[in-house]
Amino acid sequence: MKIVQSSGITPFGGLNFVLEEFYINNLDKILSESLPDLAPQSKYDWKDILYSFWSIYLCGADCAEDLSGNLKSALSDIPYCNLPSPDRVLNRFKELALPFDVFSVPRGKKLHQFSINRDLNVLNIKILKLFNQLNLEQTLDYDNTILYTKKADAKRTYKKELGYCPGVATMGSKIVFIENRNGNSDAKTLQFQTLTRMFELLKDQNIKLINFRADGASYQLDVIDLIQKNVQNFYLRANSNQTLATAIDSIKSWKKVRVGNEEAYRGETFYSPFESIAKRTKKEHKVREYRLVVTKTKRKDGQISLFTGEDFNYSAIITNDQLKTEDQIVDFYNQRGASEREFDVLKNDFGWKNLPFSKLEENTVFLIFTAICRNLYGYLIKTFSKKVRGLNESFRIKKFVFRFICIPAKWIRTARQKKLKLYGKINFKT
C-alpha cells in the first residue's frame, strides 16, 4: 500500500463552523469586557484561552493536556484563535480563583468551606443572554451533586468518600448558577445563604422566577420563607417526620392512580410545617399553611408505619400552588428529573469527573467554564440541527462530534481569499 501524506489538514473541520458562530455573535467581546485585563505583552487573550479550552470538549477530548498532545497539530492552523499550551490555560484559570469562605453553624463543630465566584456566574448569564438562551420568566431547579475526587483539600462526604458538593441551579438544560462547597458540607447545610446569593444574582440580571423546584434539602423553615419572597410558586419534597405523618393520616379521600407499573393512591391536605421549630426560635411569623400532595404505594415487605397504621411508602410534595390539580403538581415536580440528568451530562461530557486542580476555589473556575461550554453546546446543537441533516437537538456531544465536528478540512488561499476546503460532506439543508 502506497501512502501520500498531506499537511495542514485538520480532522476537526466542523470546529470552524462552531468558532464562526462565536465570531458572528461577538462572544470574544463579552469575554474581554467581563474578564480581567491581561498584560499588553500577553501572547494569548481570553478568546484564545477559552476557545481553545472549550474546543477540548467540542472535539471529543477530556482534559487540558490534550491541547498539547492529541489536538495541537489538528487545531494549530484554525484561524479563529491562537492555541495556547495546557499550562497557560490552567494558569489563567488559577488567576480567576477567589479565596474560599469559611462558615460555621450554631451548635456545629466543623467548618464549612464555600467557593463563591459571583463574577464568573454573571459572565455565564451574560453569555446565555447573548445567545438568546434565556426566557426572562422561568422555572428554576436547584440541586447539589457529589464530585468524588482525592484532591488535596477534599473533605469526606456523607457517603464516606472524598469529594466536593457543588450547588447548581438550572433553567431547563441551562446552568445559571454554581457555588462550590467542600464535601463535608451537604446540600442542607447553609442552603439559606447559598440561595440568598443566587436569588440576588438572578434579580440583578433581571431574571424573574415564576416557579422553584428542589428536593428535601430545601425543606427548611427559613429556606421556604426565602423562596416565597423570590418566586411565585414553589414545589418541594417534604421530609418525613411525626408532624408530616400526622398530616398524612388526616387525609380521608384517596384516589387510585398509576405510578409507572405500580398502583398507587393520591390525596391532599393543608399543612403548617415547622410550628414547633418556629416557636422555639421565635419565628412564628414565618409559619404558613401550605398544600400537601401525597402519593402512597404499597410496601412490598408489608411493614406498618407507626404514625399512619398503614403498610405504604409515602411521597409528599409541599407547595403554595392552589391552581394545579394534584396530578399536575406531581407531574410538574417530577419534571425536575430532567435537570438532575444534567449532572450526568456535565460529569461525562464536560469534564466534571476530571477536576484539574488541587484547590477548591480553582476547581470552581473550572466548573463554571465547563458549564458555560455546556450551555454553548445547547445553542450549537439547536442551531446546527436546523441547518444540517443528521443532527438532532437531543444528541449528546459524542454524536455531535462524530457527525459534525469530525470532517477533514484545510484552509487554502485562492483568488486572494481564504477558503475552507472540506474533504468530505456536511449535509446542509436547503
Nearest CA among 337, 373, 371, 395 for reference residue 147: 371
Q: Across 320-404, where does the E strand assignment appear?
A: none
In order of their start, the domains of the chain are 1-96+386-430 (no CATH), 101-349 (3.90.350)
Once rounded to an integer, what is the mean pLDDT over residues 42-48?
94
pLDDT tops 60 at residue 132: yes
The model's pLDDT over 118-131, given as tens digits with 9 standing for 90+, comes to: 999 999 999 999 99
For 339, the 3-state DSSP assignment is helix
**Average per-residue pLDDT in the chain?**
91
Give the pLDDT score at 403. Answer: 92
| Alpha helices in 175-270, H assignment, sequence order | 191-204, 221-230, 242-249
Give me the percent of the chain exceeding a pLDDT of 70.
Answer: 97
Q: What is the average pLDDT across 298-310?
A: 75
How many angstroms separate the CA atoms of 123 and 178, rounded? 12
How do residues 58-71 score in pLDDT, each as one tens digit? 999 988 999 988 88
Which pLDDT value is given to residue 5?
64
Q: How confident is the model at residue 93 (pLDDT cuts 50, 70, 90)?
A: very high
Residue 20's SS3 state is: helix
Residue type at 83? L
- pLDDT tens for 327-362 read 999 999 999 887 778 999 999 999 999 999 999 999
| Listed range (211-215, 280-284, 309-313, 387-391) with the worst mean pLDDT | 309-313
Torsion of CA 308, 309, 314, 319, to 10 degrees: -20
- pLDDT digits 0-9 by tens, 144-164: 999 999 999 999 999 999 999
Give the residue with greater pLDDT, 411 vs 372: 372
